[in-house]
Structure 1
Amino acid sequence: MSRVRTLEEIPLRKFHWQMFFYTGGGAFIDGYIIGIIAVALAVLQPQFDMSLTLVGMIAMATYVGMFFGGIIGGYLTDIIGRKTMFLLDLGLFVLASIPQFFVTDPAQLIIWRFILGFAVGADNPISATYMAEFAPSKQRGVLLGGLIALWYVGYGASYLVGYWLLALGDDSWRWMLTSSAIPAIILLFARLKMPESPLWLASKGKVKEANAIIQKIFGKGVILSESFEYKEKTSFMDIFKNGYGKWTLFIALFWTLQVAPAFAIATYIPQVLGEFGFADGNMEYLGSAIMSLFYLVGLLPAIYLVDKIGRRPVLIWPFLVSSVVLVVLGITSSWQMSFALTITLFVIYGIFNTSMNIHQWIYPNELFPTKIRGTAVGFGTGVSRIGASLSTFLFPLILSKYGLEVTMYCCAALFFVGFLISFMMAPETRNMTLAETSTLNKPSIKFSSKPSPKRETV
């Protein structure tokens, strides 16, 4: 007797980890591009004698680009395929990274940061949907959450590279911004080996081609999900219809309330540490690098727990803890605390903040069907970047006008609203197949939260 299992029932294999690093490479570059601008801006601002408004516009340009990249890139990912968009997007990473070295005024840099932001926004739905459609249901949370971990590896690496490149002097910012082309070129060649997503192929009626890929990778004992709907037409507006509007609203809200304060703090963390009194001897840059590396600590228990105790608790309570810690930082901002104690508080905030971020690529991929999965992830990316761009633009202005204490309270308030919304709306999707999770809001269809039983055939 031969055992037949679906794509989501097979155990983790070497191929899954290969896909994880291929898709996670994009997340690494995304984090690197977002992080490196924080160090570069601190060096660049005095050279061009930029106002706070212009600094905010440069920082905001990446997030505005991510809005358009997420919306357009996510939709195209569902139309033309995961692999095609993967390669096109990486090409754009390379083409937009190199010209940053040659900019002669802030306006040029705004343009290139916008284009890079478009590429980053487009990569989110590509990487996440690609991994979700190959992942076993029992380990889907681990694999998707792990992609966020690689985002923070890239983010932390950018601070270390930026700190190291400061030794190059006044032009160090040029090398910092251009350096993102190196991992993008490496990953571009690596991704040429990746197959197309069988679920996407089947959703376009290419079932033979989908099965051929599955059998080539996993053998003849593996099939597509038995509850799959074939040849489904992709329409952008479908993310608002047939019960999916509720999830679209939930994802847009929790994602925006996560990234708006987090990205603002991350972009200006050297300046924030300077406000805490650590502006001498490059301590603000060293502190930023230390903090970004420790943020990864928060991801490790979250990645483990999201498939053990569920999605809801790993989202809800970190929202609350992040809010409380920022309130404490606001209260103590004028106390002239030691460098170690200040960094410790920021590390605690960062650990809980990053732990809930794994849901950015888990919930959107689980709550929508294949035909609009990329569109949904892209929409969540795009809408959340509106909040991120506004907060990044306003952060230095609020910091300058109202001071550090009020700025910390504003960020804490956003996290607290996120806690309330997640408590009321977040569903539980642990151990469910994609077919089950994508029909949670359809009362006429009920599934067990337990994995499907194995089937045997002669």
Structure 2
Amino acid sequence: MSGTPASQNSLSQRLDALPFTRKHGRVLTGSGIGWALDAMDVGLISFIIAALTQHWGIGRAESGLIASIGFAGMAVGASLGGLLADRFGRRQVFALTLLVYGIATGASALVGGVALLLVLRFFVGLGLGAELPVASTYVSEFAPARIRGRLIVILEAFWAVGWTAAAVIGYFVVPVDENGWRWAFALGAVPAVYALVVRWGLPESPRWLVSRGRGAEAARIVAEFERSARGPVAAEPTGDAARTPARTPATRPDAAGRAGFASSAGGRLAALWSGEFRGRTVSIWVVWFCVNFAYYGAFIWIPSILVEAGFSLVRSFGFTLIITLAQLPGYAVAAWLIEVWGRRLTLSVFLAGSAVSAIVFGTVHAEAAIIGAGMALSFFNLGAWGALYAVTPEIYPTSLRATGAGWAAGVGRIASIVAPLVVPVLLTAGGAGLTFAVFSVFFIVAAAAAWGLVDRRGKALDDR
């Protein structure tokens, strides 16, 4: 039996049988901190753009370009990051992404003009784009099946922590003086240091190790998690689980008896469009594209829109901070519902709520109404993000998981490139009302596309 899928299945079953342990908490927290740092960087740019509009006198076109160039890097990074993670491992690529965008963000504090800032923002985007799908894939492969969706939503909730940190920095640091934005960028260099913690402090995914023929190493990691559970612990694995011989995934049969999916980068990309996965791939790409367009189009521009509406820089940043805080309960509700309603229903309901909130936000003018509608948009939109990150890694097998998640995120980043450039045009043509009505349409399309996904609530991951 050595070298058969049974070896992989036995380890997967042991992972799914575990309770939530301290080691799960360490994987979740370690990945979540990286996620929060990612969000902090993305969130900071919205405040920095508003500040540079005043200090450098840049216009809407340059502001949109500064935002979009980072998302261009994220599109490339997400696509490459998934491929690299399926080839070289989740942990290795996760650490590398933190290092790349941390260094580039810190260097941004020293720029003296738009041109160099654009170059550095592209490299920041490379790291940011690769980190998110790799991190969600990494955590999903450790999580027991019965709570997997909930843990991924909790991971995504770290985004709210990071975005709130960005809002705090934006409120207290950026407006201090004309160099406040430089100090904000300097704080964004923290991920470069944290990359060392990830590289040496977190284990590699056992599912990935087995897929690369490193069964003994995978078995040791699973046994460590079992010991952490403080329950009956299996003896150090022997037999199939420990003797899984080195073999290439190209020789591992899939369900149809064909060659395995992970024979090459090109083979993995082609497999995303095979008969089994084509419908899922189309649906997840549409959802990612629409959610990215509406989310980044709205939240990157909200501080600037409020300034243009007549609020002071500090006041608009204060409104944005309050709006941002509503993300946390959105994640909490989604984390509960995703294991009750399932992935598709939770995702579609939160997207529908986002659509309604966007319409309201674009039409109100009173301060209380702006804050209330903005908080509703934060609540529903970020709850939808949590559900989206939960469902994306689950719809593909282990040999395709990071590639599939990375390319879905990469397609989404195309929308995040376009959105900051389109928003100034929409604002000029029809103001906030037209702009947020367009966002609402994108949310509705995403809600419909979500029903083309498979829902694996409570089911084991596909370890082919």
1:378 aligned to 382, 406, 413, which one? 406
Does the 8 Å contact 2:153/2:387 carry over to 1?
Answer: yes
Q: CA RMSD in A?
A: 2.3
1:94 aligns with 2:102: yes
2:19 aligned to 11, 14, 22, which one? 11
Amino acid at match of 1:108: L
Does the 8 Å contact 2:174/2:183 carry over to 1?
Answer: no
In 2, the alpha carbon distance for the partners of 1:63 and 1:248 equals 21
Question: Which residue in 2 is equivalent to 1:51?
Answer: 59
Question: Which residue in 1 is equivalent to 2:68?
Answer: 60
Identity of aligned residues (%): 27
**SS where residue 17 of structure 2 aligns?**
coil
Query: How far has the Cα of 1:325 moved from its partner?
Result: 2.1
Does the 8 Å contact 1:90/1:188 carry over to 2?
Answer: no
Range moving further from structure 2, 230-239 or 371-380: 230-239
1:289 aligns with 2:297: no
Alignment of 1:261-340 (within 5 A): 261-277=294-310, 279-280=311-312, 282-332=314-364, 336-337=365-366, 339-340=367-368
Q: Residues 419, 281 of structure 1: CA spacing in aligned structure 2 closer, same or farther, 3 A cutoff?
A: closer
Q: TM-score with structure 2 length normalisation?
A: 0.87
Query: How far has the Cα of 1:183 moved from its partner?
Result: 4.5
Alignment of 1:417-456 (within 5 A): 417-422=445-450, 424-435=451-462
In 1, the alpha carbon distance for the partners of 2:40 and 2:315 equals 21
Range moving further from structure 2, 57-66 or 46-55: 46-55
In 2, the alpha carbon distance for the partners of 1:231 and 1:212 equals 20
1:177 aligns with 2:185: yes
**SS where residue 179 of structure 2 aligns?**
helix
Alignment of 1:172-321 (within 5 A): 172-219=180-227, 221=234, 231-233=248-250, 234=262, 235-277=268-310, 279-280=311-312, 282-321=314-353
Residues 323-375 of structure 1: CA deviation (Å, up to 9, x unaligned): 1222223333xxx42x1221011111211111111133222211111111111
Query: How far has the Cα of 1:187 moved from its partner?
Result: 4.9
Query: How far has the Cα of 1:138 moved from its partner?
Result: 0.8
1:407 aligns with 2:439: no
**SS where residue 282 of structure 1 aligns?**
helix
Amino acid at match of 2:65: M
Query: Unpaired segments of 5 or more residues in structure 2?
Result: 1-9, 228-232, 251-261, 263-267
Question: Which residue in 2 is equivalent to 1:164?
Answer: 172
Question: Which residue in 2 is equivalent to 1:454?
Answer: none
In 2, the alpha carbon distance for the partners of 1:62 and 1:96 equals 11
Query: How far has the Cα of 1:310 moved from its partner?
Result: 1.1
Amino acid at match of 1:267: I
In 1, the alpha carbon distance for the partners of 2:313 and 2:114 equals 27
Query: How far has the Cα of 1:44 moved from its partner?
Result: 0.9
Residues 158-216 of structure 1: CA deviation (Å, up to 9, x unaligned): 01012111353001111112211124413533541111111111101111221122223
Does the 8 Å contact 1:52/1:397 carry over to 2?
Answer: no
Range moving further from structure 2, 26-35 or 208-217: 208-217
Does the 8 Å contact 1:124/1:377 carry over to 2?
Answer: no
Query: Unpaired segments of 5 or more residues in structure 1?
Result: 440-458
In 2, the alpha carbon distance for the partners of 1:281 and 1:7 equals 50
Query: How far has the Cα of 1:281 moved from its partner?
Result: 6.2
Question: Which residue in 1 is equivalent to 2:28?
Answer: 20
Number of equivalenced pairs: 428
1:147 aligns with 2:147: no
Query: How far has the Cα of 1:247 moved from its partner?
Result: 1.2
In 2, the alpha carbon distance for the partners of 1:207 and 1:39 equals 47
Q: TM-score with structure 1 length normalisation?
A: 0.88
